Amino acid sequence: MSTPAVPMPAPGLEQLLPLATPMDTCRGMFFNGAFEAVRSLGGEAARVKCCAAAGKKTYVDFFSYPVADFLKVIFTAAEVLGGPTQEERSLVLRQLGRRATADFLHSTVGRTMMALAGTDPQRLLASFPSAYRASLSYGDRSVERLGETRARLMARRDFLPLEYNEGVLIAAMEQSTAQELVVRGRQLAPLDVDYDVSWL
């Protein structure tokens, strides 16, 4: 499929939910991390709203739960905490993505990934597809090296919002020696995004 000259708008919750099946899951630690992030940003009332959106009271970190429920959590968080503008809601999604990275890096799988990749930006990026596979049941991701300080993560059939994944990538790459990091996602289709990553 050719890349469009102008990226399409990022899909909203109402567009994503019909595309998700019961087999599309993510780990409970991402739910728990999002709830704690919402509590720290907006207080207990905001956390309760997000919990209610998901419809379940407790999550076990390494059990798998429907990504459709997780989408309800993070989109509700963006609405409750982000204010009236898309820019403000996008900022919340990026913050939640950063929190997800922190939670993952504290897990056994995350610590192993960092031990293998070290602080080299290219090696760290190359480990992303396997890291995603350890956390999510769906989608396909690959990394293309574009130069010494540039690479592209290509995510296909990925339900997580572009801004959320930008936060994930930024927080992870900050663990490397990369300086002046820039991460830009481009929406190609409702579930397909290319993320261009550059640094010095």
pLDDT at position 109 = 85
Structural domain of 149: 120-198
| Number of domain units in the chain | 2
Of 46, 73, 105, the domain-final residue = 105
Q: Are residues 100 and 133 in the same domain?
A: no
**Percent of all residues in the chain with a pLDDT value above 90, rounded to a whole number:** 84
Domain end point (choices 105, 136, 154) = 105
**pLDDT at residue 4 greater than cutoff 70:** no
Q: What is the pLDDT of residue 179?
A: 96
| Average confidence (pLDDT) over 4-16 | 83
**Three-class SS state of 153:** strand
Tell me: do 22 and 98 sit in the same domain. yes
pLDDT tens profile 122-181 = 999 999 999 999 999 999 999 999 999 999 999 999 999 999 999 999 999 999 999 999
The mean pLDDT value for 46-62 works out to: 93
Together in a domain, 91 and 144: no
78 in the Ramachandran plot: left (φ > 0), alpha (ψ -120 to 50) or beta? alpha
**Residue type present at position 100:** A
SS3 133: helix
CB environment 119-154: b (16+ within 10 A), e (fewer): eebbebbbbbbebbeebbebbebebeeeeeeebbbb
Task: Of 78, 80, 79, give the one whose Cα is nearest residue 163.
Answer: 78
3-state secondary structure 38-99: HHHHHCHHHHHHHHHHHCCCCCCCCCEEEHHHHHHHHHHHHHHHHCCCHHHHHHHHHHHHHH
Question: Is there a domain that residue 1 lies in?
Answer: no
Q: Could you tell me the two tokens for 66?
A: 């429907």
1 pLDDT higher than 50: no
43: in domain:
yes
Let me know whether 87 and 126 are in one domain.
Answer: no
**What amino acid is encoded at 91 in this protein?**
L
Of 105, 130, 160, the last residue of a domain is 105
